[in-house]
Amino acid sequence: MTKPYYKPQLLNRLVDEIQSIPSRIGHDVKKKGGFYLDYYLNKCLKTVDRINDISNITSLQKLTAKEKIFSIYFKLQYYKGPEVQYHKKERIIYAGGLGYASLANAVITQRIGKTINHYWKPPKKKPAISLDMDGPMVYNRKPTIQDWRGLMTKQKQEVLLGRG
């Protein structure tokens, strides 16, 4: 078998990255309170897909690399320790494209907490009206259409009879 002319640096880097996952378990459990198993399992599968897309390497090199990655994948499937449900790389989804640094649902310049509208000016407070509680309380309701018609008829008769 002849030695391939391409040194598989990318392939070695991908395999080394996956092989370092089990050594991260202790660190993640200590720092984050658990190990994000789903993220690393998906990372293994995505790496296998990337290896299939690499050109200029032999099929034997691809097969050997995939065997190493799947051995890590199957070991991770038997992990029984504490798990966390998020990973810092998965939570942040960048958005924008207009030159503003932003994250999904939160612009970096956005304040956290109560929003302030600098253009709104609250109305001035009016002084309280004091009520005279000594006299009789009279409620004047708003006149209806029937009341208005009756008042207009009365006023017309007064004007026509010359009393007005």
pLDDT digit string (tens) for the chain, length 164 residues: 444 444 578 888 999 999 999 988 888 888 888 888 888 899 999 999 999 888 888 889 999 999 999 999 999 888 888 887 766 655 445 454 555 555 555 555 555 667 777 888 888 888 887 777 777 777 788 889 999 999 999 999 989 887 65
Residue 56 confidence (pLDDT): 84
Tell me whether residue 111 is in a domain: no
Q: Are 19 and 66 in contact (CB under 8 A)?
A: no
Interior/surface letters 21-52, b for 16+ CB within 10 angstroms, e for the rest: beeebeebeeeeeebbbebbbebbeebbeebe
Tell me whether residue 68 is in a domain: yes
Residue 163 confidence (pLDDT): 66
Tell me whether residue 139 is in a domain: no
Task: List the beta bridge partners of residue 94.
Answer: 103
Range of the domain at 66: 9-90
Tell me whether residue 107 is in a domain: no
Tell me whether residue 109 is in a domain: no
Domain count, the chain: 1
- What is the token pair recorded at 119? 């253009």
CA atoms within 13 A on the CB side of 11: 21
Q: Which residues contact 23 (CB under 8 A, 6 or more apart)?
A: none
CA–CA distance, 27 with 108 (Å, rounded to integer)? 29
Compute the CA torsion angle 20, 26, 27, 31 (nearest 10 deg). 150
Tell me whether residue 102 is in a domain: no
Tell me whether residue 116 is in a domain: no
Residue 5 confidence (pLDDT): 45
Tell me whether residue 155 is in a domain: no
